[in-house]
Amino acid sequence: MRNLFVVLALCLGLLFAIHANAEPTLNRDLPPGLQIPDAARPGPNFDVDRATDAYINLLSPEQRAKSDAYFEGGYWLQLWNLLYGIGVSILLLASGWSRRMRETAQRISHRPWLYTAIYGVFWLLTMSVLSFPLSVYADFYREHQYGLATQSFGPWFLDQLKGLGVGLVILPFVLMAVYAAVRRAGQRWWVIAGGLSFVFSLFFSMLFPVFVAPLFNDYKPLPEGDVRTAVLSLAHANQIPTEHVEWFDASRQTTRISANVSGFAGTTRVNLNDNLMNKTSLPEIKAVMGHEMGHYVLNHSLRLTIYTSLLSLIGFWFINFSFGWAQARWGHRYGVEGLADPAGLPLVMVLFAVFSFVTTPVSNSIVRQAEAEADAFGLNAAREPNGFATSAMRLSTYRKIHPGHWEEIIFYDHPSGYERVHASMQWLKENQDNPTANAPLPVTAPTVTPAK
Ligand SMILES: [Zn+2]
């Protein structure tokens, strides 16, 4: 317990240091409104590569250097995250803390399902406290350093607490189910765990937009106007049965632009974030919504749930044999009695984290492929290649615009900005009569009342 207070004191110290150092950074956003460089105008000399380069050159060298630094720093952050998580888990095991948490849980109840759930609550609370310093650095300080975050510490911390609250509701059920599988199914537990991860992911993706997302942001119907008309028209033209178009105050947390189409059957809704509304033009909004509708029409959420559950299944199989090896070496020293003992959860998490780290290129490639499909769908649905190219350039404020081939395969869960602009210009080459590409500029942000 004394260690806990030392960690807390360190966190507070770090916090004050951060407040003292927080400084405003250069504005990295592209100007509002649609951007069409001369080389990206249709004409007899239209060249896909030249048009793409003209878009890429909209970024100043400083903007590009900063975006590269942010994104490449993220590669290292993945490694630090893994090592930090392993360190904290070993601390929990080697100090006997994990064993004592299980003993305390067993004093409260002797029923395995109940003490497993109680252990889960203890574990999540402890991990949240111990991981707090890294989370403050990665999710608060660094985001401010690069001008991507908008929240001061108080509201940010409150959001973290809400996230912890959601975790405390969900995790005990997940652990109860998986540990029950370990107790009942013996050596075949990992097959059932893979099935459970499919059911839980599907269930969570259904509950998320209705119960979780509104905890963090305000969702309001989008007022009548050009944007609402255009988005609904795009939805109806693509067999998306909805009249619900909402927007939410993402600018509370971030400067990033985004949108999504969520829900099933009667709960289907189209959500735009207010940064998208306030910084971009109608052709950009249509292009982004065409992409999001692509995810919906192509049934990506179900497909990705199936793929990631299959990957988790392999992860559980890996845990099944590697846990026995680790248990034989260290288990007795740490008071872990076997795979069915929740006191071994930190060890399970280390193994799972190593597995996820090693398979990151696989999971990224699975998602990136779906994103590329949605890109192609969106270009055909919205028919706004310059809108899509401009919004791809806006995303480059936090995503390196032109990575190497293998860098993209390993680290990117979306096509790079370069690939997206190139695909847009390829589409424009084949559709030279495109009205927006031939129309005069400027096309500026639509006027909307603030989402408050
Ligand atoms: Zn997408």
Tell me: cis bond preceding 31? Omega within 30 of 0 counts: no
pLDDT > 70: percent of the chain: 92
pLDDT at 449: 57
Q: Do β-strands 259-262 and 219-221 pair in parallel, antiparallel, or remain unpaired?
A: unpaired
For residues 264-289, average pLDDT: 87
At residue 21, the pLDDT reads 42
For ligand 1, a single-atom ion, which residues have Cβ within 5 Å?
Answer: 371, 374
pLDDT band at 18 (very low <50, low <70, confident <90, very high): very low
Instruction: Give pLDDT tens digits for 108-138.
Output: 999 999 999 999 999 999 999 999 999 999 9
pLDDT of res. 11: 47
Radius of gyration in angstroms for the set of CA atoms belonging to the chain, rounded to a whole number: 24
Q: Residue 264: is its pLDDT beyond 80?
A: no
With 50 as the cut, is the pLDDT of residue 173 above it?
yes
- pLDDT band at 194, cuts 50/70/90? very high
Tell me which of 203-217, 366-380, 414-428 is least confident.
Answer: 203-217
Asked whether residue 26 carries a pLDDT value surpassing 60, the answer given is no
Average pLDDT of span 360-377: 97
The answer on pLDDT for 364 being more than 80 is yes
Is the pLDDT at 24 greater than 60? The verdict is no
Residue 90, Ramachandran bin (φ over 0: left; ψ between -120 and 50: alpha; else beta): alpha
Q: What is the mean pLDDT of residues 86-111?
A: 96
Q: What is the 3-state secondary structure (H, E, C) of the chain?
A: CHHHHHHHHHHHHHHHHHHHHCCCCCCCCCCCCCCCCHHHCCCCCCCHHHHHHHHHCCCCHHHHHHHHHHHHHHHHHHHHHHHHHHHHHHHHHHCCHHHHHHHHHHHHCCCHHHHHHHHHHHHHHHHHHHHHHHHHHHHHHHHHHCCCECCCHHHHHHHHHHHHHHHHHHHHHHHHHHHHHHHHHHHHHHHHHHHHHHHHHHHHHHHHHHHHHHHHCCEEECCCCHHHHHHHHHHHHCCCCCCCEEEECHHHCECCCCEEEECCHHHCEEEEEHHHHHHCCHHHHHHHHHHHHHHHHCCHHHHHHHHHHHHHHHHHHHHHHHHHHHHHHHHHHHCCCCCCCHHHHHHHHHHHHHHHHHCHHHHHHHHHHHHHHHHHHHHHHHCCHHHHHHHHHHHCCCCCCCCCHHHHHHHCCCCCHHHHHHHHHHHHHHCCCCHHHHCCCCCCCCCCCCCC
Q: Of 5 and 247, which is predicted with more confidence?
A: 247
Mean pLDDT, rounded, for 278-289: 93
Q: Which of 282, 273, 172 is nearest to 234 (CA)?
A: 282
Taking the centre of ligand 1 as the mean of its atom positions, its distance from the CA of residue 373, in whole angstroms, is 9
Residue 262 alpha carbon to ligand 1 centre in Å: 12
Distance 308 CA to ligand 1 centre (A): 16
- Ligand 1: centre distance to CA 156 (Å): 26
What per-residue confidence (pLDDT) applies to 14? Answer: 47
**pLDDT tens digit sequence for 42-90:** 999 999 999 999 999 999 999 999 999 999 999 999 999 999 999 999 9
Q: Look up residue 42 and give its amino acid.
A: P
Q: Could you tell me if 288 and 261 are in contact, meaning their C-beta atoms sit under 8 angstroms apart?
A: no
Span 254-267, mean pLDDT? 80
Question: Ligand 1 center to residue 129 CA distance, Å?
Answer: 33
| Higher-confidence position of 450 and 200 | 200
| Confidence category of residue 423, pLDDT binned at 50, 70, 90 | very high
Ligand 1 centre from 289 Cα, in Å? 10
- Predicted pLDDT of residue 448: 64
- The Å distance, Cα 415 to ligand 1 centre, comes to 10
Distance 292 CA to ligand 1 centre (A): 6
**Alpha carbon separation from 198 to 194, 202, 260, 314, 361 (Å, rounded):** 7, 6, 21, 13, 21
What order do you get walking across the sheet with 259-262 strand by strand?
219-221, 245-248, 269-273, 259-262
State in Å: Cα 374 to ligand 1 middle: 6
Comparison of pLDDT for 281 and 450, the residue scoring more? 281
User: What is the Å distance from ligand 1's center to 371 Cα?
Assistant: 5
CA–CA separation, 384 vs 391, rounded Å? 11
Please count the residues of the chain: 452
Which pLDDT belongs to residue 187?
87
- The helix-helix angle for 385-395 and 48-56 (nearest 10°) equals 40
**Long-range pairs for 183-191: beta carbons < 8 A, 24 or more residues apart:** 183/112, 183/340, 187/320, 189/316, 189/320, 189/339, 190/313, 190/316, 190/317, 190/319, 190/320, 191/313
pLDDT in tens, 134-169: 999 999 999 999 989 999 999 999 999 999 999 999
pLDDT computed for residue 27 by the predictor = 58
Q: Tens of pLDDT along 307-361?
A: 999 999 999 999 998 998 988 888 788 889 899 999 999 999 999 999 999 999 9
| pLDDT value for 447 | 65
Ligand 1 centroid, distance to 295 Cα (angstroms): 7
Distance, CA 425 to ligand 1 centroid (Å)?
19
Gap from CA of 447 to ligand 1 centroid (Å)? 25
To 5 degrees, how large is the angle CA 388–CA 389–CA 393?
115
Q: What percent of the chain has pLDDT over 90?
A: 75
CA of 258 to the centre of ligand 1 (A): 9
